[in-house]
Structure 1
Amino acid sequence: MQSIKASSYEIVFNTSGYEILNTLIQTATYSKIFIIVDSHTQEHCLPLFLSTLETSIAIEVIEIVPGEENKTIETCSGVWDALADLDADRKGLIINLGGGVVTDLGGFVASTFKRGMDFINIPTSLLAMVDASVGGKTGVDLGTLKNLIGVINNPKLVVIDTGFLATLPKIEMRSGLAEMYKHGLIASKAYWQQLSDLTTMTTNDLNALIYDSVFIKNEVVLKDPTEQNLRKTLNYGHTLGHAIESYCLSHKDLKKLLHGEAIAIGMILESYISAKITGLPQSQLDQIHKVLSDMYDPVSFKKNDIEHIIELLKHDKKNSNGKVKFVLLESIGKGIIDQEVPNELIYEAFDFYAATP
């Protein structure tokens, strides 16, 4: 697959990606290489990745505990301590080998240790391939509040090897698929239609869909790298989705949701709101509800749950002057930013979500 040019780096794919990675390492004269993994990627992905590296530079592996609940400043402190103990300097290179938690946290660690080290993302989950590893957003959660601490800082390279997807459970694949659905909903009706029926999907089809998803996100980021306008559309489904994810993480009586599972719920809710505020046609709302409900298991929310979820909206990063700002849809393929939504409409949206499509 052809590489995708981002603002200051390339997104490269599969075997050719490793060739470009090795060339970069050989020409950049790094003092040492630090590979950040979690316990899953340490076992399932690291041996394969190390077999592709062609370098005599010293390599150190730093392992973190997997899971969104460990995407914290405390975990960063552990990695910073490890880097200091291993005599890391600003001429070192950090390679983040893992899913969205590893690429988000590893990018933030690299961006802040000694005021900045180069880093490369090697995403191993579908979610990280199509979303987290691309676009330069790095960061960690503040308690259960999603991604409140972080910076936008681009990697030197992103290598997407879809072979790593063979190590993923189906639930993780579905989580990543949610971000691909989002890319279609905000930017490409044709892409959304491709994703609407995956019953006959082949490996080649999946590779092409991943490529197109990355291409869509990169085009948005190129036009608005610091999220002043257009890039906000990438948060579609995330205003309520992040609040739902945070709420479920902090309540032991509720099932913890993977990021994509929460975002899928958020997209159904925000599609209903879109039909009421920005004119999303009823037929498109029904299609979105049906496709996402068929893909993701339903979650039951009580009135008290919804009240607390709405309260969490005040922490959303898109808020301005104390007002919650939503991304809504005018139609499939066209997102509208900076929309205010009354709370009563959010309650209605949860009623709609609970109904069978």
Structure 2
Amino acid sequence: MNSIQAANYFVHFNTNCYTKLHEHLTESNYSKIFVLVDSNTHEHCLPSFMGNLQTEVPIEIIEIEAGEIHKNIETCTGVWNVLSELDADRKSLLINVGGGVVTDLGGFVASTFKRGISYINVPTSLLAMVDASVGGKTGVDLGTLKNQIGVINIPEMVLIDTSFLSTLPANQMRSGLAEMLKHGLIYDEAYWKKMINLADFTLEDLDDLIYESVQIKNKVVTEDPKEHGLRKILNFGHTLGHAIESYLLTHDTKEPLLHGEAIAVGMVLACYISNQQERFPTEKMTEIKRVMIDMYGKVEFNTSDYEAIIDLMKYDKKNSHGNINFVLLSDIGTPVLDKIVPNTTIMDAFKFYNS
């Protein structure tokens, strides 16, 4: 696979990853290399990665706890302290080997330690490969509120080795597929149709779909790196999806959802709202609901859940001037930005989802 040029860096794939990494380390004068992993990727991914890492530069491994619950400033403080204790300086490199929690948090740690050191992302989950790989968004959660603290800062490179996907459980694979489905809905109906026929695909076909998904996101981000306009379309399904994800994290009696699972619900809700406000075709709305529920199952919500989730939307990063801004669709591949939606319509969307 050819490398994809993003904004001032490249996304490299599979065997080409390690060739490009070796070239970069040979050309750069790093004082030390720090590899950030979580407890899962330390066990399942680090041995393979280290076996492909060729360098004479001293290497230190830093491990954090796995899971979204640890994507916070407290974890960052722990990593910053370890970097200091191990004499990291401005010429150090941080390589983040893990899913979205590791790459988001590691990118933020690198961007802020000593006012910024270089970092490389090695996404090991499907979600991180197709979402966190492009755009330079780094950050952590504030309590249960998603990605409230962070900066946009590009890595030196991103390395996508799809062999790491063999270490993922099925629910993590499905979580990543949600972002790929989203790319089809917001950008390319032909890609959407490929994605809903996954049962007939081989692992090689999945590699091609991942590559195409990264291309779609890269086209959007390259045109609008700071999210002033077009890049907002990547938030389709996220306004409600993030609120649902945060809400379920706060309730001991409810089963939390992975990011992609929550976004799948958010996309069904957004399609209903699009149907009501933007005349999104009813037959496509119905098909999208069927696809999402077939793949992810149905989450049970009641009226009190609706109200609490709607209340959480006020914390969404895309809001401005006191308005909650939605990305909607007038058709597949035709997004509409900055739409204000009445609470009654959101309530009706939940009823449609539950029906």
Is contact 1:271-1:285 (8 Å) kept? yes
Q: How many angstroms apart in 2 are the aligned matches of 1:196 and 1:280?
A: 19
Q: How many angstroms apart in 2 are the aligned matches of 1:287 and 1:64?
A: 40
- Residue range with higher mean Cα deviation, 229-238 or 288-297: 288-297
Q: Give the equivalent residue in structure 2 for 1:179.
A: 179
Q: Give the equivalent residue in structure 1 for 2:332.
A: 332
Q: How many angstroms apart in 2 are the aligned matches of 1:88 and 1:337?
A: 43
Q: Give the equivalent residue in structure 2 for 1:24.
A: 24
Q: Give the equivalent residue in structure 1 for 2:254.
A: 254
Matched residue SS, 2:341: coil
Q: Give the equivalent residue in structure 2 for 1:230.
A: 230
Query: Which amino acid in 2 is paired with 1:68?
Result: E
**Residue 34 in structure 1 maps to residue 34 in structure 2:** yes
Using the TM superposition, give the Cα deviation of residue 133 of structure 1 relative to its aligned residue in structure 2, in angstroms.
2.6
**Residue 43 in structure 1 maps to residue 43 in structure 2:** yes
Q: How many angstroms apart in 1 are the aligned matches of 2:302 and 2:289?
A: 20
**1:239-279 CA distances to partner (integer Å, 9 max, x unpaired)?**
00000000001111110100000000000000000001112
Q: TM-score with structure 2 length normalisation?
A: 0.99
Q: Give the equivalent residue in structure 1 for 2:170.
A: 170
Is contact 1:39-1:64 (8 Å) kept? yes
**1:111-168 CA distances to partner (integer Å, 9 max, x unpaired)?**
0000000000000000000001321000000000000000000000000000000000
Is contact 2:179-2:260 (8 Å) kept? yes
Matched residue SS, 1:153: coil
Unmatched segments (≥5 aa) in structure 1: none
Query: Which amino acid in 2 is paired with 1:304?
Result: S
Q: How many angstroms apart in 1 are the aligned matches of 2:257 and 2:68?
A: 10
C-alpha RMSD of matched pairs (Å) = 0.5
Q: How many angstroms apart in 2 are the aligned matches of 1:7 and 1:34?
A: 24
Give 1:297-312 correspondences, 5 Å limit.
297-312=297-312
Q: How many angstroms apart in 1 are the aligned matches of 2:42 and 2:103?
A: 14
Q: Give the equivalent residue in structure 1 for 2:136.
A: 136
Matched residue SS, 2:328: strand
Q: Give the equivalent residue in structure 2 for 1:266.
A: 266
**1:309-340 CA distances to partner (integer Å, 9 max, x unpaired)?**
00001001111100100000110111111000
Aligned length: 355
**1:188-217 CA distances to partner (integer Å, 9 max, x unpaired)?**
001000001111110111000000000000
Query: Which amino acid in 2 is paired with 1:48?
Result: S
Query: Which amino acid in 1 is paired with 2:167?
Result: T
Matched residue SS, 2:105: helix
Q: TM-score with structure 1 length normalisation?
A: 0.99
**1:14-64 CA distances to partner (integer Å, 9 max, x unpaired)?**
001110011001101100000000000000000000010110100000000
Matched residue SS, 2:207: helix
Q: Give the equivalent residue in structure 2 for 1:284.
A: 284
Matched residue SS, 2:338: strand
Extract structure 1 runs of 4+ deviating beyond 2 A.
none
Query: Which amino acid in 1 is paired with 2:293?
Result: S
Q: Give the equivalent residue in structure 2 for 1:84.
A: 84
Is contact 1:104-1:133 (8 Å) kept? no
Give 1:199-214 correspondences, 5 Å limit.
199-214=199-214
Q: Give the equivalent residue in structure 2 for 1:147.
A: 147
Q: How many angstroms apart in 1 are the aligned matches of 2:33 and 2:251?
A: 39
Query: Which amino acid in 2 is paired with 1:258?
Result: L
Is contact 2:11-2:133 (8 Å) kept? no
Q: How many angstroms apart in 1 are the aligned matches of 2:40 and 2:235?
A: 28
Q: How many angstroms apart in 2 are the aligned matches of 1:177 and 1:118?
A: 30
Matched residue SS, 2:36: strand
Query: Which amino acid in 1 is paired with 2:137?
Result: K
Using the TM superposition, give the Cα deviation of residue 287 of structure 1 relative to its aligned residue in structure 2, in angstroms.
1.2
Query: Which amino acid in 2 is paired with 1:33?
Result: I
Q: Give the equivalent residue in structure 2 for 1:8.
A: 8
| Identity across the alignment (%) | 60
Q: How many angstroms apart in 2 are the aligned matches of 1:213 and 1:132?
A: 12
Query: Which amino acid in 2 is paired with 1:204?
Result: E
Matched residue SS, 2:48: helix
Q: How many angstroms apart in 2 are the aligned matches of 1:133 and 1:4?
A: 11
Unmatched segments (≥5 aa) in structure 2: none
Matched residue SS, 2:211: helix
Query: Which amino acid in 2 is paired with 1:121?
Result: N
